[in-house]
Amino acid sequence: MVTATWYLILAAGLFTIGAVGLLVRRNPLIMFMCVELMLNAVNLTFITFGRELNDIGGQVSVFFVLVVAAAEVVVGLAIVVAINRRRPQATADDLSALRG
């Protein structure tokens, strides 16, 4: 029998991979994907807790997270598109005019 802990550890691992991915990748799109990974990890955590607590709240939360994720991606991609129009192929590291 798989206990909740396994799910949670899996989620933690996924969250970590997402976080590390955001830190090491330069392509903004892939960075967004990493955020999605992190959100997915949270979703898994929510659902696991919900089941353990015998509570639907976790699942409802995931529902909202999904909506937020979708909206976030739209906005994020819109910004990326706008930037790419001016500076095609710009990586996250290229955008460092503001500093200091």
Q: Interaction with another protein in 11-50: which residues (CB under 8 A)?
A: 12-50
CB 59, CB 47: distance < 8 Å: yes
Tell me 79's DSSP state: H
**78-97: which residues touch another protein (CB under 8 A)?**
78-89, 91-93, 95-97
CB 74 to another protein: min, Å: 4
Helix (H) or strand (E) holding 57: helix 57-86
The distance of closest approach from Cβ of residue 47 to another protein in the complex, given in angstroms and rounded to an integer, is 5
In the complex, least distance from residue 7 CB atom to another protein, rounded to whole angstroms: 7
Structure token digits, residue 5: 């802990």
